[in-house]
Amino acid sequence: MGLVPCPLPCRTYSTESESNSSYHLHSDPSTSSISSQPSLPSVPSLSRQVLQQTQTTQLNCIATRKSGSACVCSLVLAGKFLYTGLSDGEIRSWSCRDISSNTSKPLATTNSTVKSLVIVGDKIFSAHQDHKIRVWQVNTTNEQKFKCKCIATLPTLKDRFPRLFFPNSYVQVRRHKKLTWVHHADAISALAVSKDESLLYSASWDRTFKIWRTSDFKCLESVSNAHEDAINAIVVSNDGFVYTGSADKKIKVWKKLIGEKHHTLVESLEKHKSAVNALAFSSDGSVLYSGACDRSILVWERDNGGGGGMVVVGALRGHTKAILCLAVAGNLVCSGSADCSVRIWRRGVGDDRSYSCLGVLEGHRRPVKCLTVAVDFDGDDRSDYVNSFVVYSGSLDCNIKVWQIQVPLVNSI
């Protein structure tokens, strides 16, 4: 598992870059099982595909990190480390300080695909195909003796045992099978954490989402039959609204109202025409982005009535297959797709609701399954006129690519 140079150019929407179109990598035929439905003609497009010519965005692949023979299913950044969850059940860490060296360390090995990762303090929560959440205590004080220990598997025995003897603690999960309500009955597809990090939210293909307390790992609530099909994505707003995206084509909004013990359905957003795969909030929490198999990224903004309600204001188009993942940092939106590419979008400033597609990152040979992005405070070429970002993309081709994005400031263009 090493790191190799990545000299691939990236395609931007400027005259000069069109000459590099020969580097375009088409989707592998083996990925045709990922459904991609017609796009949404009824939703107006927000994207502009031509950049001002005074300055151009610089997009460069600066490294490729090999994960062996396992697909990269999840990525999360925490401090100076990148953590990856793999299809073989392994969790690995990579140093972000020196991308030119092979600093990958195996942290944990399980027997089930790692579907999602979140970090809370010195703990990693990992969601798995085997219906379980595992909690890992990480010690990063000494990079030479990097330690990771599994301290809990959710639901815990303390959560499970008292409910074994009470019939009303069981729910029907299949025709001839019941489980206690603290159990997920299918793969856990996504995790999210509340703003104060006191609550963990888990979404599953069993059509439920659950809320856990991060201090003692107790399951506080389970919302059953939240959707009509598998839940693929979950995010939580700063003011406590929970958004779930499902294969039933819907995004649902949930909230625990004052005086209530359980989350209540507040709104159902039904603009997508195919399975919703990814959700992400803007940095200020005012905009929700949703990606689906219809090849469009829908942009939702809070309506004037408040109450967590969202209205769709437009769509970002350009991908030729399903949107599988989204990541946001500052005014940058990144989207990964089954078409094996990553697109970089910049949100307008102030009242400008338009988006510019700054470029297309190409080089993966199979669908891009996960993304994370961060502001590059250590970039060598930082200046008063450029914002610098680092994007990490994980793919079913078993590679993690590291991209440096340098974007001219809006007032400097």
pLDDT, position 14:
40
Cα angle vertex 11, ends 7, 12, to 5°? 130
Which are the contacts of 67, defined by CB distance < 8 A and separation ≥ 6? 1, 84, 86, 92, 394, 398, 399, 400
Tell me the C-alpha distance between 253 and 227, whole Å: 11
Amino acid at 250: K
Compute CA distances 27 → 24, 49, 242, 319, 339, whole Å: 10, 22, 34, 11, 5
Per DSSP, 45 falls in state B
CB 193 within 8 A of CB 133: no
pLDDT, position 227:
97
CB 332 within 8 A of CB 346: yes
pLDDT, position 142:
62
pLDDT in tens, the chain (413 residues): 444 444 444 555 443 333 333 333 333 333 434 445 557 777 888 876 544 433 578 899 999 988 889 999 999 999 888 999 999 999 999 888 776 655 678 899 999 999 999 999 999 999 999 999 999 998 866 666 667 899 999 999 999 888 888 888 888 877 778 888 999 999 999 999 999 999 999 999 999 999 999 999 999 999 999 999 999 999 999 989 999 999 999 999 999 988 888 999 999 999 999 999 999 999 888 899 999 999 999 999 987 765 657 899 999 999 999 999 999 998 899 999 999 999 999 988 766 778 989 999 999 999 999 999 998 866 555 555 578 899 999 999 999 999 999 988 765 44
Nearest to 39 by CA among 325, 277, 295, 339: 295
- Ordered by where they begin, the domains of the chain are 3-27+38-412 (2.130.10.10)
Residue count (the chain): 413
pTM equals: 0.87
Edge-to-edge strands, sheet with 133-139: 114-120, 123-128, 133-139, 147-154
pLDDT, position 332:
93
pLDDT, position 111:
95
pLDDT, position 252:
97
CB 266 within 8 A of CB 307: yes
φ, ψ dihedrals at 23, nearest 5°: -90, 0
pLDDT, position 16:
35
Instruction: Identify the burial level of 197 via C-beta atoms within 10 angstroms of its C-beta, where 0-12 means exposed, 13-18 middle and 19 or more buried.
Output: middle
pLDDT tens digits for 230-257?
Answer: 999 999 999 899 999 999 999 999 999 8
Nearest to 371 by CA among 332, 335, 398: 335
